[in-house]
Amino acid sequence: MLLSEQAYQRIDRELAKYPADQRISATMSALRIAQQERGWVSAEVIEDLADYIGIPPIAVQEVATFYNMYDLKPVGRFKLTVCTNLPCALRGGEQTADYLKRKLGIGFKETTADGMFTLVEGECMGACGDAPVMLKNNHHMCTRMTEDQVDILVEDLKRQAQASGMDAVPASNGAEGAAS
């Protein structure tokens, strides 16, 4: 087994929400739990989850590859997903993304050399009225992201990492400040 006993207990709670013949419905939750613990979802984790849920591995793979919230390779401690869909683009989303690229010295789907930040281009996050928006570690929505707001966020995240003594730890994509 690749996950902790606690992770499998959490998956069991998700599985209990569905009838026995619909266990596949817990796939997204199982992937989220695994990613929170491991930091990303490897092929081995996908196989393990499929075995645990009792579904074909391809069924888990299809979900993991369809949604951009699941990371199929390691990411930085802080994953920043910038919306560049039309409403955000019209309100500065592409400029925000370009500014982050310059500031961090990376492109989309890249991680800074210190392992601190990964930058991802995202699809609509349903907050068009607050554009441009981005997600931090898949869970915290940042709105109206001007260059000043980006500077504040990046510096705050760097301070947070330094304060925790973990300058280059993979992103948790879950609870703030926790590594997994």
Q: Which residues are annotated as a binding site?
A: 83, 88, 124, 128
User: Which residue in 136, 7, 133, 165 sits closest to 75, CA to CA?
Assistant: 136
Phi-psi sector, 54: left (phi>0), alpha (psi -120 to 50), beta: left
Cβ neighbour number for residue 63 with a 10 Å cutoff: 18
User: What 3-state DSSP class applies to 175?
Assistant: coil
* Residue given tokens 């409403």 in the structure block: 87
Residues that constitute the known binding site for [2Fe-2S] cluster: 83, 88, 124, 128
Tell me the CA distances in angstroms from 2 to 21, 48, 49, 79, 175, one per residue in order: 25, 7, 9, 23, 20
User: What 3-state DSSP class applies to 41?
Assistant: coil
